[in-house]
Amino acid sequence: MTQYIIRRLIYSIFIIWGCATIVFFMLRLVPGDPVSAMLGIEYTPQAAAQLRKNLGLDKPIYVQYVTWMGDVLHGDLGKSIDTRQPVTDQIVSAFPKTLSITILGFIFGAVVAVPMGLLAALKRDSVFDWVASISTFIGISLPTFWFGIVFILIFAVEFRWFPSVGYVSPSDGIWPWFKHLILPGLAAGVGEAAILMRFVRAGLLEVLGSDYVRTARAKGLPERRVIMSHAMRNSMIPVVTVAGLSLAGLLGGLVITETVFAISGIGRLLTTAIFAKDYPIVQGVILLITLFFVMANLIVDILYTFLDPRIRYG
């Protein structure tokens, strides 16, 4: 197992390097010029040339690549072209916000999805199952921003229970922090809940029809034990797979939620940088997201061994 993890970690280095390299060159193939975006209406060819020189963008691409890679290996992700602030600082500032929403959204999603999926599977074709299925379709079909705006209109504008925009650091108080996260967390959690519930229900239904569950029941085990100890555990494999990937996906995929709630997280940082052609920021954030995906995959694979002792890695 240890050898397997070490091997996977080594592979991960190549995956991350490959992604970083592809992103580096693809960014420069996309039409548009960061300097023209920066200068906006103050653009003049002279000002643009000077700025390009100051930023090192006048050098050949391969020189820029080698320089950047060298810096990354030394732990330096460079500075934003637009704001000239260190990329690391901007990521460090944005990351806790996105992570907070991600975790809260995931918790909201899991708290709703697991029991609902379980009940829907156990009461298959009942009214509850039918209602739960419709709910999941709605949760998956409606966009996150719609839920966000509806939550804001109800809970912020109408009742004024929670703030409609912004983020407060936990260092300024746990309750203010949590209060600012409830609505974005809920908005992000709706889609998560819907997807997870489908997998919990489907996974459990499949397992409940399998031979070993029938055997367990035939042995006279209480139904509760059959479900919780035998069926649930095995049905969790696809759920864990989806949960792991969506958790990692949330990290870069919360841009809509972050925009609606005016929270300057990783998603907004990335999309703003993409539109502005702020190469160092895009490269730095993609590195982070790649790292998360790779780690999430690894953790999911390791979790399989706990859920199903038959799975072995060597």
Question: Which residues are 245's β-sheet partners?
Answer: none
Distances (CA, A) of 115 to 120, 121, 212, 242: 8, 10, 23, 17
State which residue, 16 or 255, has the beta carbon closest to another protein.
Answer: 255
Residues 39 and 59: their CA atoms lie apart, in Å, by 20
Residue in 135, 264, 297, 305 binding another protein, rule: CB under 8 A: 264
Binding mask 232-261 for another protein (x = CB under 8 A): ---------------------------xxx
Residue in 38, 72, 213, 286 binding another protein, rule: CB under 8 A: 38
Burial class (CB within 10 angstroms; exposed 0-12, middle 13-18, buried 19+) of 295: middle
| Contact range with another protein by CB under 8 A, out of 14-22, 27-35, 234-242, 305-313 | 27-35
Residues 159 and 142: their CA atoms lie apart, in Å, by 23
By the rule CB under 8 A, 150 interacts with another protein = no
By the rule CB under 8 A, 160 interacts with another protein = yes
State which residue, 91 or 232, has the beta carbon closest to another protein.
Answer: 91
Residues 104 and 247: their CA atoms lie apart, in Å, by 11
State which residue, 263 or 294, has the beta carbon closest to another protein.
Answer: 263
Q: Specify whether the CB–CB gap between 116 and 134 falls below 8 A.
A: no
By the rule CB under 8 A, 147 interacts with another protein = no
Query: What type of residue sits at position 23?
Result: V
Binding mask 90-129 for another protein (x = CB under 8 A): x--xx-----------------------------------
**Least separation, in Å, of the C-beta of 38 and another protein?**
7
Residues 274 and 305: their CA atoms lie apart, in Å, by 39
Residue in 16, 269, 294, 296 binding another protein, rule: CB under 8 A: 269
DSSP symbols for 172-222: G-HHHHHHHHHHHHHHHHHHHHHHHHHHHHHHHHHHHTSHHHHHHHHTT--
Among 282, 313, 284, CA closest to 297: 313
Residue in 56, 166, 173, 222 binding another protein, rule: CB under 8 A: 166
By the rule CB under 8 A, 19 interacts with another protein = no
Residues that bind another protein (CB under 8 A): 30-34, 36-44, 47, 50-51, 54, 79-80, 82-85, 90, 93-94, 149, 152-153, 156-157, 160, 163-167, 259-264, 268-269, 272, 274-277
